[in-house]
Chains A and B, each alone.
Chain A
Amino acid sequence: MLGIESTSIGLAYILSILSAIGCVIYGICFWNKGAEEINIDDKKWVKEEKELEKEL
């Protein structure tokens, strides 16, 4: 397969590319899904995170 001796490695080669293509398809299909409003927890978290960064 593709000049590669072992089928197992040929498969890994193809699967690596296919999984990256899968990521692209997933990204496109779910591009606008999962949006959430910023809630009070998020704001509190950001405030403390910024303080921590400042300290460092």
Chain B
Amino acid sequence: MELTYIIVLAYFAVIAYLGWKGYQGTKSDLDYMVAGRNVHPYVMAMSYGATFISTSAIVGFGGAAGVFGMGLLWLTFLNVFVGILLAFVVFGGRTRQMGHHLEAHTFPELMGLRFKSRFIQGFSGLVIFFFMPLYTAAVLIGAATFISAKFGINYELALFGFSAIVAIYVIMGGLKGVMYTDAFQGSIMLIGMVFLLIFTYSKLGGVVNAHEQLAGMSGIAIKIFGKAGHQGWTSMPSFGSPFWWVLVSTIIMGVGIGVLAMPQLAVRYMTVRSKRELNRAVLVGGIFVLAMTGVAFVVGSLSNVYFGKNVDNLDFAIVTTTTVGEDGIEVSNAAPPILAELAPKPDPAKGITVEITKKGSISLLAAGKNVGKIIPSYVLHATPKWFGLLFLLTLLAAAMSTISSQFHTMGTSIGRDFYEKGLLGGKRVKSSIGVTRIGILVAIIFSVFLGYWLQRTYGGQGMSIIARGTAIFFGLCASTFLPMYFGGLFTRKITRAGAISGMLVGFMTSFFWLGFILKIKGKMPALLAEACFGKASLLDHAKSGFILWDQVDPLFIAFPLAIIVTIVVSKLTRPLPEEYVNNCFKGIK
């Protein structure tokens, strides 16, 4: 254990050293840009990747794969194709050029300036400030769950301890965009995850063999989750079932599309020198994200095979049939173990006896019905001890690189976007720095509280709170920001009124759907429906064809609606002066 502490301390020492070098003003993104030198594309891509991928993706979504199975690989595909290729190639260059030309330093500011609207900037800032803590909490829960399992301490202690360390890190200067710190953290993540994949496949007998063993467990999956639509860990849930809606509408689409409108990622494009650096970063970024999410989802799913072989906590029945032969001798035949629920009832008259025994397991049960504990349990049980330590560093790196950018974004959202630009009309006042700092402090406290409350309320109920919390925030950002972000970058036809209407409709529809329609899990009511109307959902059990309305993610309703409203209102309202719009697009081909 002493070695663990020494290596963790060494890790923090390296982070502190890199942070100090950044503070000296020699290694930050901006210094490179001013000096006109090129940032190494590996560093830029790792920096972006480490900000994008967090403990939420590895522990939260990896754990969700332990329940939903390899269907999550569709999210990996979207992460690479949309989150890297489309984001860098299509959105990155224009965001950078427009951001620099309009002198925008935050995502809300870019939108506010593009549409000449203080309201857009202020409102976007508020949405980010109040809802991003859900995502930050998801990242904290992911890290704290592993720390608690690794050190054998309770979850609350791990959460508060880790949060305190992160808070000190960001206050000591972790908010600065120090690429080398992020790149170092990204490298640790890459090494850790690649090892995890190789280890898992080799332990389970190779790629195809491991997949076949998982496919062979589909009977158990159907028996346990079949009512909700599960068809095995190497099959998609049955079309239109509750599991299908959660997997496809919330987890895959929410995160897969939402990544395009992530405020803390969009500002990253502005910190590179030219489109060439973005092009180069695509190379490393694609491999990095595949290695992060692809590995987490494959390993999360395959952990079922490992626990099936190495943990015994599923009720199996051994059915023995006793018959008396013609010679009067009793002959007993014991059938191979079957799931207890499938066993016939004991019938002494017919000589049938049933003995219940514990045999095999699935990841969710082995992790005490806590989805967030699936990956930590697998790593700590299955892999060598030294890897548990490397994985701890992987998660610390994943959490800290993401959280620092989240706190930065939340602080500037409330201080610069809402207070300075939204309320004071853009006057540079000293108090906005104070508001930003207080904002960061409030964001830290609120995120930690959410990390505590969410785990306490939903933690042990088999619900993937980390994945769903993250997906809800990503979906909310997609519905609220993406129509105007896309419209603002790629067309001159979106008007200010169109952008505002789309943003408000996207946000309010998402909020309403989350509060009153979407049931959290199974019978668990929507967040506000029960308190306000005494119902689990305003559309409880409503079904139209294959659509289970109380399971449909807000994204599926709010995003299309926001697009339609943005376009229709833009058609009906006065455009911004041509000169102003042309200026926004200056230099953009």
Interfacial residues, chain A to chain B (CB-CB below 8 A): 2-6, 8-9, 12-13, 15-17, 19-24, 26-28, 30-36, 38-39, 41-46, 48-50, 52-53, 55-56
**Is B33 in contact with A38, judged by CB distance below 8 angstroms?**
yes
Q: A9-B70, A32-B276 are in contact. Are A24 and B103 (CB under 8 A)?
A: no
Chain B neighbourhood of A33, CB < 8 A: 275-276, 279
Tell whether, in the assembled complex, residue A4 and residue B76 are in contact, meaning their CB atoms are under 8 Å apart.
no
Beta-carbon nearest neighbor of B215 in chain A: A5
- Contact indicator A9/B80 (Cβ below 8 Å): no
Check B212–A16 contact: CB distance below 8 A: no
A45 to B, closest residue via Cβ:
B100
Does B235 interact with chain A (Cβ within 8 Å)? yes
Using CB atoms, name the residue of chain A closest to B38.
A35
Choose from B36, B74, B208 the contact partner of A3 (Cβ within 8 Å). B208
Contact B93 A16 (CB under 8 A): no
Known contacts A41-B101, A45-B103: A19-B411 contact under CB 8 Å: no
**Docked complex Cα distance between A8 and B71 (Å):** 8
Q: 12 new A-B pairs (CB below 8 Å) besides A4-B70, A12-B73, A12-B76? A: A3-B215, A5-B215, A9-B234, A13-B70, A15-B81, A22-B85, A22-B286, A33-B275, A34-B275, A35-B274, A35-B276, A56-B175
Q: B73 touches which one: A16, A20, A27, A30 (CB < 8 A)? A: A16
Tell me if B103 and A34 are in contact (CB < 8 A): no
A-B contact pairs, 8 of them (CB 8 A): A5-B215, A5-B232, A9-B73, A13-B73, A24-B287, A26-B85, A27-B284, A34-B276
B282 at the interface (CB under 8 A from A): yes
Bound: A18/B207 CA distance, A = 17
Q: Contact mask B277-309 → A, CB, 8 Å, 1/0?
A: 011111111110110001000000000000000
- Classify chain B's interface size: 35 or more
What B residues does A39 contact at CB under 8 A? 587
Measured between beta carbons, the chain A residues less than 8 angstroms from B209 are 3
User: Is B508 an interface residue when CB atoms closer than 8 A count as contact?
Assistant: no
CB distance from B351 to the nearest CB of A (A): 38
CA–CA, A23 and B64, complex, Å:
26
Q: Which of B433-463 contact A (CB under 8 A)?
A: 433, 436-437
Contact B103 A48 (CB under 8 A): yes
CA distance A17 to B215 in the complex (A): 21
Chain A residues with Cβ under 8 A from B587's Cβ?
A: 39, 41
Q: Which of A17, A20, A26, A53 has the most CB of B within 10 A?
A: A20
| B116 interfacial contact with A, CB 8 Å | no
Q: Which residue on chain B has the smallest CB distance to residue A47?
A: B34
